[in-house]
Structure 1
Amino acid sequence: MNRRRNALLSVTAALLSGMLVYGVYVLQLRQVKFQETVEVVVPVRFVAAGERLTPDLLGLKQIAKASYSDDMLLGKDGLGGMEVVVPLGADEPLLRWKVDKFRLLPNKSQSTFGIPRDYVLSVSNGIRAGDKVIVYASGDTTVSERLFAEAVTVASVKTAGNMEIDDADNSSLMSMASGDKEAMYASRRDAIGMIDYINLNLTEAQWLQLDSLCRNGKSKIVIAYSAESLDVGEPAEGEAP
């Protein structure tokens, strides 16, 4: 009887010992994995929104591989001249969507289209370059509806004299980049000039849809300012989130 008990105790002790060893092994593996590092690009100081990056503003920092994400940049090549979309803190891993070279240019799937004046029923007079707008269809023979599911980017807005509309002393675009909503609002109030021409960044499919709707003159579009323009922390259109 005692032999059986001793044997059972020995087997139990062996199992518990094995489980303990395996647990320690798993914890060590996790610790080793966490301690593995990767080198990412970081600003060496605070960088304000709208500022352009130069090589002296960028450095490299080791972070735990477990903290790495695909949006983080690993090399400084190609970052010179990039514009900062949102403010960056010192030693903050630089994410792809936080920098852009040409924010007002179309992405790879888009082109910039000048919208013919006779296609437009109305356009919000507070719209400026860089804004997001929503396009609606309107006409006597069609049901009024939103034309595109997503908001589109305004490339430029000009007066009849081909002058860009903005406040020369307080650029709405720079206020937008800095996240200063008060200054952005003030610049729109102070800017003068009626919008006569507007350019939108559209995909080919979007332009063909708009053109086929308006070219017979029976339908027109309404271009409305979108609150998405204030979401300066969001990825730019066409970029990965």
Structure 2
Amino acid sequence: MNRRKQLAISLCAAVMSGLLVYGVYLLQLKQIKLEETVKVVVPKRFVPVGTILTADDLKTISLPRGAVGAQTVTSVAEAVGMEAAVPLGGEEPLLSWKLDKYRLLPQADEATFQIPRAYVKSISNGIRAGDEVLVYLSGESELAPSHRLFEGEIVVAAVKTAANLEIDDPKNPNLLSMAQGDKESMYASRRDANGAIDSINLNLTESEWLTLDTVCKGGTAKLIIAFQASSIGEKGEGS
């Protein structure tokens, strides 16, 4: 009886030892797998150019460490709020050069429109590419009273001089200062610009453009485009 008991104990010990060895083997395999792969960010689906990325657009997958370059985005937080500067393929590793922090390009439902000079009554001289502006309608009759044309802010794609040059301070570019979050340099670049605004390009949805064109083409109402100083702070603080 004691012999059977000893055999049973020995058998159980052997089984437990085998399970322990197998468990250690599985843990080692998992550790090796973790060391050989890196989590990278990919879009869940195709993303059109101009789309502002949200957490719902992104996920992470594992890739071999050797396939991950210096520009590969590895954190979802790094990509959220950025703009797709080029179309992004679904499940393709996200690269930093494909993203833009500032919305100079129109979003997915927008296009860039050059506003006809005849439509504009005044443009604030402080406006630069990348700013968010307020658009008002200045009516010349009681039937078309002055009012704010669009509730939201509109992104400026470009502001040009009569010589078709982008208005900026060549020695201290506004967009460079914006990217660096340097509000003092941004303010200085607006003071030392290279010309007066002759034309302005705005990023508008189709309905916004049609509304603007409808109210202005008759010539009885014109636009007043105002600079919103808070856009400097918002962009600078978000860097």
Q: After TM superposition, is the score higher than 0.5?
A: yes
Would the aligned equivalents of 1:58 and 1:76 in 2 still touch at CA under 8 Å? no
Matches within 5 A, 1:10-25: none
1:206 paired to 2:222:
no
The whole-number CA distance in structure 2 between the counterparts of 1:137 and 1:106 is: 22
TM-score (norm 1): 0.60
Task: Calculate the TM-score normalised by the size of structure 2.
Answer: 0.61
Distance change >3 Å, CA 157–CA 227, structure 1 → 2: same
- Quick one: which amino acid aligns to residue 184 of structure 2? E
- Taking a change above 3 Å as real, the CA distance of residues 144 and 234 of structure 1, as seen in their structure-2 partners, is farther
Structure 2 CA distance, aligned partners of 1:152 and 1:72?
A: 17
Distance 1:194 1:71 in 2: 36
What is the aligned partner in structure 2 of residue 181 from structure 1?
Answer: 183
- In structure 1, the residue matched to 2:97 is 81
Gapped runs of 5+ residues in structure 2?
A: 1-37, 42-67, 83-90
Partner of 1:31: none
Letter in 1 for 2:172: N
Q: 1:110 to 1:72 in 2, by over 3 A?
A: closer
Shift of 1:173: 1.0
For structure 1, list consecutive stretches of 5 or more residues without a partner in the other structure.
Answer: 1-37, 42-53, 86-99, 236-241
1:138 is matched with 138
Which residue matches 2:152? Answer: 150
How far is 1:72 from its partner?
9.8
> What is the CA distance between 1:195 and its match in structure 2?
0.6
Mark the CA change 1:60 to 1:198 in structure 2 (over 3 Å): closer, same or farther: closer
CA distance in 2, matches of 1:125, 1:71: 32
Contact 1:157 1:196 in 2 (8 A): yes
The share of aligned pairs that are identical, in percent, is: 52
Q: Deviation of residue 181 (structure 1)?
A: 0.7
Partners of 1:140 and 1:218 lie apart in 2 by 6
Among candidates 163, 166, 171, match of residue 165 of structure 2: 163
Does 1:117 find its partner at 2:138?
Answer: no
